[in-house]
């Protein structure tokens, strides 16, 4: 009984953290796009505006990926410790590492 409660709680926590990560990426994308469009409308330097957009959008993606990695760690360790889930987690960590170096 306690084991089922713990597993269900970990599963729910993973879902909440996963949704937070997706929301961070979505809100970050929308906010950075709106700021970029405002800068373009105000006729600011286009090259600087694009650079600022890329930087802010990259930070939003990285922050969202941090949450997604945390959710996958919870799911991999506490809920479904399968080889496939470990492989997915490894892929996400590789993508996050590549993005952090390239941004």
56: left (phi > 0), else alpha (psi -120 to 50), else beta? alpha
Contact 24, 60 (CB under 8 A): yes
Total-model pTM: 0.78
**What radius of gyration do the chain's Cα atoms show?**
18
pLDDT of the residue at 21: 96
Task: Output the tens digit of pLDDT for each of the chain's 103 residues.
Answer: 877 888 888 889 989 999 999 999 999 999 999 999 999 999 999 999 999 999 999 999 989 988 988 888 888 777 767 788 778 778 878 887 887 777 6
DSSP letter at 69? H
Tell me the C-alpha distance between 65 and 61, whole Å.
6
Neighbours of 92 (CB within 10 A): 16
């Amino acid at each position: 009984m306690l084991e089922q409660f713990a597993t269900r709680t970990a599963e729910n926590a993973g879902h909440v953290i996963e949704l937070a990560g997706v929301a961070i990426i979505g809100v970050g994308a929308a906010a950075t796009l709106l700021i970029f469009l405002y800068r373009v409308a105000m006729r600011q330097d286009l090259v600087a505006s694009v650079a600022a957009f890329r930087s802010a959008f990259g930070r939003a993606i990285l922050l969202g990926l941090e949450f997604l990695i945390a959710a996958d760690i919870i799911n991999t360790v506490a809920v479904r410790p399968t080889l496939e889930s470990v492989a997915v987690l490894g892929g996400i960590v590789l993508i996050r590492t590549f993005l952090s170096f390239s941004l």
